[in-house]
Amino acid sequence: MLTIVLAWVFWSYLGEIKDGKSIQDLPSALIDKPAPTFKLPGISAGDKGFDSADLKGRVALVNVWASWCPPCRVEHPLLMQMAREGIPIFGINYKDKPDAAMRFLTELGNPYQAIGADRSGRVAIDWGVYGYPETYVIDAKGHIRYRHVGPIMPHDLAEKIRPLIKALGK
């Protein structure tokens, strides 16, 4: 537990940039544009994987995460909660070892409808990811409508993510 608290303090410190602005204030060039096209294998041999076609026709979240990422562990209970609420969540597992990623999901639960293993990090670069975790709201047309850098916290879910999903027609 102490490790998680220290990780959160560290992440909070890193989340601040000059003049007290949050990393969230940095714009994304991909907002309101189509999500990048990609096709990723599953974490383990035989897993389905995840590709951009999975996002068409529904409002969904795409979460970029890794087992080695302490803030990913912090936000995971909220991802599980959103999945129980019926919000479709897809995962991009970033530069992770398959066995470590599977242990993470076995321990904390799997909120993802599909997960792609981005072992090279190329897909994350295409999405403009620069902090982990990073979560995107995708509309039914496959356009990125919102990006959240860092762990999702309860106020982010209540004030930004849920209202946007509702407005987009979940």
CATH number at residue 106: 3.40.30.10
Whether residue 21 lies inside any domain: the answer is no
pLDDT band at 130 (very low <50, low <70, confident <90, very high): confident
84 occurs within a structural domain: yes
Asked if pLDDT for residue 164 goes beyond 50, the answer is yes
pLDDT in tens, 10-51: 444 444 444 444 445 455 667 889 999 999 999 988 889 999
Range of the domain at 156: 30-167
Q: Identify whether 13 is part of a domain.
A: no
Domain membership flag for residue 136: yes
Who's near 56: CB < 8 A, 6+ residues apart? Answer: 140, 141, 142
Q: How far apart are CA 12 and CA 114, in angstroms?
A: 29
pTM above the 0.95 mark?
no
Q: Is residue 15, in this structure, part of any structural domain at all?
A: no
Does 113 map to a domain?
yes
Number of domains observed in the structure of the chain: 1
Position 18 in a domain: no
Does some domain include residue 59? yes
Find, among 38, 26, 28, the residue nearest to 122 by Cα. 38
